[in-house]
Amino acid sequence: MPTLTESVVRSARPRARKYEVTCSSVQGLVLRVLPSGRKVFFLRYRDGDRDVRERLGAVEEVSLAEARAQAQARLLTEAPPLRVAPRPRVGPRVRELAARYFDEHVAVHLKPGTRVAYRAHLRRILAEFGDDRLVDVTPERVERWHASLRTTPCAANNSLRVLSHMFTKASEWRLVPRDHGRPTATVRLYRERQRERFLTPEERARLDEVLRAGERAPTGKPGAISWSVAAAIRLLALTGMRRGEVLALEWSMVDRRHRCFRLPDSKTGQKSVPIGTPVLELLDALERRRRPGVAYVVHSSRGTRLLPGTLGRAWAQLRRRAGLDDVRIHDLRHSAASDAIMSGVPLAVVGKILGHATPRTTARYAHISDAALADAVEAMSTSIAACGRTRRAKGSRR
């Protein structure tokens, strides 16, 4: 239970429903925050069978120090002494909510890859709040927890979003009082910078050289790369597909006639991924390695689906040997989009190729399109100006 401070009083934000912030230093002192934004100090106690809240004054009328002094005097001088109402200690714990949330929401509605990420967020949440009852999770505690994760802002924000949705479901499932609200509502997310890293033609050449050298190296030797890992990386680079889409790709999804992959269940639902001649040639090579009864285009030595961890470890070695330590495997997707735009492909078409759910996602590449347009205009105007200079030079010689 937090101690009321001037900072806590100032930072308390209004919610859709009124709520109270309790104090541990003065028993029974609470700050009530109304949806209108008005904040009022109360003294809460039990008088016989009645739960009493005695108004001490709004924050504009009395300071925190004055409210604290009034509450202490009231408790000390009243005869018979007032008994402070104990805070209810009932209801489910966060650990119980997390178990139900995973079983009834995550496992039912989210894809396997997303479930793995949610498990990590839930572990982070349970490490802090696992043994607490839902009613004991306060905005102040959530804010401190979120602040403790500030060195990894993206992970902190995503874990906060999961915790927020957990309390939304808790309200739907009637696990908390209706007026409890979400303790995450007033916590501000960290600003997340969109990280953009695109491979240059020279970097692509280095990557391909290291990839080929790894394929030629004997199995078990330093730098050796299995054919399946090499194929997965090439598919990522040539198509701009997501890692999970490539690892889940099955031969039944390959439509050579229409030159596309037909994915029944991608991140954005069912979609078709167009493929070019280099991909078809790669598929021809992979077809020769195809094993009876194995559904996956790229697979482990046992014929099972290639694991993200296996691909990730191989990529870490590959990029280090290529001198591309800052390049993530997902940057291959960004680079494919960048190359398409620089080649003159419209943003809307790039969005269709990558399978973006909304144009807003593709809009992050707009500056690349603008740069390509600027280069084209520069080349055009330089060419026109050069023609003019040539004509003037010819005229002066006459």
Identify the band that residue 80 occupies on the pLDDT scale cut at 50, 70 and 90: very low
Distance of CA 26 to the CA centre of its chain: 40
The 3-class SS string of 94-107 reads HHHHHHHHHHHHHH
Domain boundaries, the chain: 6-77, 94-172, 201-370
Q: From 245, 257, 274, 269, select the one nearest 340 (Cα to Cα).
A: 274
47/83: higher pLDDT: 47
| Separation between Cα atoms, residue 89 and residue 86, nearest integer Å | 9
- Tell me the CATH class for 201-370: mainly alpha
Range 94-172 has CATH code 1.10.287: no
Identify the band that residue 81 occupies on the pLDDT scale cut at 50, 70 and 90: very low
Choose from 82-91, 143-152, 176-185 the range with maximum mean pLDDT.
Answer: 143-152
| Separation between Cα atoms, residue 67 and residue 97, nearest integer Å | 36
Does residue 208 come out as left (phi exceeding 0), alpha (psi in the -120 to 50 range) or beta?
alpha
Choose from 85-89, 279-283, 367-371 the range with maximum mean pLDDT.
Answer: 279-283
pLDDT tens-digit series, residues 131-153 = 999 988 999 999 999 999 999 99
The CATH architecture assigned to 6-77 reads 2-Layer Sandwich (3.30)
Q: Counting Cβ atoms within 10 Å, is residue 267 exposed (0-12), middle (13-18) or buried (19+)?
A: middle
Q: Which residues contact 392 (CB under 8 A, 6 or more apart)?
A: none
pLDDT tens-digit series, residues 245-278 = 999 999 999 999 999 999 887 666 678 888 989 9
